Amino acid sequence: MVNNTDILNALAKIVEEVTGLDPAQVTAGKSFIEDLDIDSLSMVEITVALEDSFAVTIPDDRSAELKTVGDTVSYIANHR
């Protein structure tokens, strides 16, 4: 069974692959745009990678609402 820590670790690895950021910077309280300075194109890549990794669909309108790492982890935990 996958827990929130597993999801967070996978998300941090995806962020590193897409943006080159240190995975240690990807914590639940961080905002993708304000704190991690991730642009919209990179967010699309991250979203697609998350969908593939966790067999979950994140609709575009819902994706725009996932502002923080924690929001995203919770969404995946609740929709897989």
The domain over range 4-79 is classified in CATH as 1.10.287.1080: no
What global pTM score does this model have? 0.94
Distance (Å, whole) CA 4 – CA 61:
23
pLDDT band at 1 (very low <50, low <70, confident <90, very high): confident
Q: Kindly list the domain boundaries of the chain, sorted by start residue.
A: 4-79
Q: Which residues are catalytic?
A: 39
pLDDT at 59: 95
pLDDT at residue 29, rounded to an integer = 97
Query: How many Å apart are CA 46 and CA 23, to the nearest integer?
Result: 13
Compute the distance between CA of residue 45 and CA of residue 32 in angstroms, rounded to an integer. Answer: 13
Residue 80 clears pLDDT 90, i.e. is over it: no
User: What does the pLDDT look like over 21-62, one tens digit per residue?
Assistant: 999 999 999 999 999 999 999 999 999 999 999 999 999 999
